[in-house]
Amino acid sequence: MTSTNPPVNEGPELRLGDGPTPEVISEEEIHEEVKPPEVSARDAANWAKSVSRLSVSDAPADAVNLNVTGRRVMSPIQGFGKMWQKTYRVELANCESTPSEIITVWKENFSKFWPERNRFFGPLTGIAPGEVALLNLTMPGRLKLSTGVLVLYADEESFTLMTPQGHMFAGWITFSSFEKSGSPVAQAQVLMRSNDPMYEIGLSLGGHKKEDEFWEHTLSSLASYLGAGGEVDTQVICVDKKRQWSKATNIWHNAAIRSSIYSMGTPFRMIAKPFRRT
């Protein structure tokens, strides 16, 4: 067998002192440059990684995938309307499950507990930080709304969903379970501002009530699933009464308007389908 490796000693001979004079670094500079590596935070795996725009991979065939791809997530601060904190809580009396078992059940069956005609297309990998889920919702007046959420945070006893541009509200919803007075409690807490003036009007004209009913239904369904009865307690606090008029232009991304336009175009898309190139 013959070797194809080049001879080791080929090339110019290098001697010590031939190169440029090395830059001298003072002791003070060394202290500035060399920092100890940051110890990885113990909750690092619980948070979504930084994303500038959302993207959806493997959307189910029956899901309408609109108003999510390319959108930015919105914190409650980026919204338009008054800021609300809504807390829905049910005490799971006679339930022997631990908070982490309750959250596991909740994550695995998340959409099952929702009211009819509202669909959550969760990621195949389950509710995990950084995943994006599609939502196909039915609004008052049977208006269809296609939007989504980012799983911002998830640990054994809680998970948080954050909404994108165009959603009814800017903010996040945290689902959690914990022990209180010896009984497990399940809780959904929304921190939100309506995203634009149109949604603000909609929320004032019954939208808030609908949203309360939505989460009360969800918690009641969860309690029933776990074999525990219990009244859902709802607490609503207005965190900031001011409307942020500088955010009125958020209406450009309004998912309700865009979903309606998409719905109106459905007959035309069906007619055009056979003529489309594959």
Residues in contact with another protein by CB under 8 A are 38, 40-44, 46-51, 73-78, 83, 85, 99-100, 152-153, 155-160, 162, 172, 174, 176, 178, 189, 191, 239-242
Nearer to another protein, 173 or 228 (CB): 173
Nearer to another protein, 156 or 212 (CB): 156
Q: How many CB atoms lie within 10 A of CB 111?
A: 13
Where does 38-166 have alpha helices with state H? Answer: 99-108
Nearer to another protein, 247 or 259 (CB): 247
Question: Which of helix, strand or coil describes residue 69?
Answer: coil
Minimal distance in Å, beta carbon 96 to another protein?
A: 18
End-to-end CA distance of the chain: 54
What the block records as the tokens of 212 is 């309360």
Nearer to another protein, 167 or 259 (CB): 167
Apex 154 CA angle, 148 and 160, nearest 5:
45
Minimal distance in Å, beta carbon 75 to another protein?
A: 4
Nearer to another protein, 188 or 228 (CB): 188
Minimal distance in Å, beta carbon 32 to another protein?
A: 13
Q: How many CB atoms lie within 10 A of CB 139?
A: 17
Residue 84 to residue 171: CA distance in whole angstroms? 10
Using alpha carbons, select from 170, 142, 143, 141 the residue that is nearest to residue 262.
Answer: 143
Residue 174 to residue 157: CA distance in whole angstroms? 10
Apex 211 CA angle, 159 and 59, nearest 5:
55
Minimal distance in Å, beta carbon 21 to another protein?
A: 34
Contacts of 221 (CB under 8 A, 6+ apart): 112, 113, 114
Nearer to another protein, 77 or 205 (CB): 77
Minimal distance in Å, beta carbon 191 to another protein?
A: 5
Query: Buried (b) or exposed (e) across 17-35, using 16+ Cβ within 10 A?
Result: eeeeeeeeeeeeeeeeeee
Minimal distance in Å, beta carbon 216 to another protein?
A: 20
Minimal distance in Å, beta carbon 38 to another protein?
A: 6
Nearer to another protein, 74 or 228 (CB): 74
Question: Which of helix, strand or coil describes residue 234?
Answer: strand
- At 101, the amino acid letter reads E
